[in-house]
Amino acid sequence: MNRTDPELVAAALQGERHAMDDLLRRNYDRVYAVCRRITGSDADAADAAQESLISIVRSLSKFDGRSSFSTWVYRIATNASLDELRRRRRRPAVGSTESVGHDQAHDLVDADAGAQIDTVADRMAIDAALAALPEDFRVPIVLRDLTGMDYAEIAEVLGVPVGTVKSRIARGRGALSHLLAAGNQTGADERRISGS
C-alpha cells in the first residue's frame, strides 16, 4: 500500500520505523537534486543530503503541517546546502578529481553518444553557470525550476517576502542567461582558434 507523506509522517511519529524509512527513501532523490544544484558539487551535495536526512529524522516531531511536507523538506535541504557551502569556504581548496580525461572520455563514446554528449555538455554549462551565481540568486532559482515550488513556498523556505523571491529569480535568471551566453561565446572562440 502506497501511503501519502502525511500518513507516513503520522506513522513515523508513532514509532513505525518502516514509515520513517519509506519517507526518507521517497524524498531522497529530490533532496539530493536540490543539494546538488545549490552546492554545485557531488561530494558537497552528498554531505548536505545526508545532513538533511538526519535533520528530518531529528526534527520530524517539530513538523506542524502548516506547509506541505515537501516544502518543509526543501527548507531543510536548502539550509543544509547553505551550511555545506559555508563549511566549504573554510576548507582549503583541493584540485578537482571529478573531471574525466580525454582518453577516458573517448573510450566511453558509442555510436549514439553525440546527443548524450551535447546533453551532458549543456548540463555541465548550466551547473557551472549556477555555481557562479551568488547564493541569493541560485537558491530561489533551484527551488523554482528544479522543484517546481511556487513563489509563496520559496518565500517560506527562505524566510523572505514573495516580492524578494520574484526579484531574485528574475535577476538570477538574467545573470544565468548572461553567463551561459558568455560560456557559449567562449566555446565558439575556442573551436574557431583550434580549427574545429
How many C-beta neighbours within 10 Å does residue 14 have? 8
pLDDT tens per residue across span 126-182: 778 888 889 899 999 988 888 888 899 899 889 999 999 999 999 999 998 888 888
Q: For position 180, which CATH number holds?
A: 1.10.10.10
Is residue 157 within 8 Å of 149, Cβ to Cβ? yes
Residue ranges in the chain modelled with pLDDT below 70: 1, 91-122, 184-196
Closest C-alpha to 136, from 90, 93, 85: 85
Whether the CB-CB separation of 74 and 115 falls below 8 Å is answered with no
Domains: count for the chain = 2
Tell me how crowded residue 153 is: count the other CB atoms within 10 A of its CB. 22
Last residue of a domain, one of 67, 91, 115: 91
Q: Residue 64 has what pLDDT?
A: 87
Query: Does 72 lie in the same domain as 137?
Result: no
86 and 123, same domain (yes or no): no
Grid cell in block for residue 168: 531574485
Task: Write down the pLDDT at residue 41.
Answer: 87
What single letter denotes the amino acid at residue 92? P
The residue type found at 191 is R
CATH of the domain at 60: 1.10.1740.10
Identify whether residues 194 and 111 lie together within a single domain.
Answer: yes
Q: Does some domain include residue 136?
A: yes
In-domain check, residue 5: yes
Q: Same domain, yes or no, for 40 and 84?
A: yes
| pLDDT, position 105 | 40
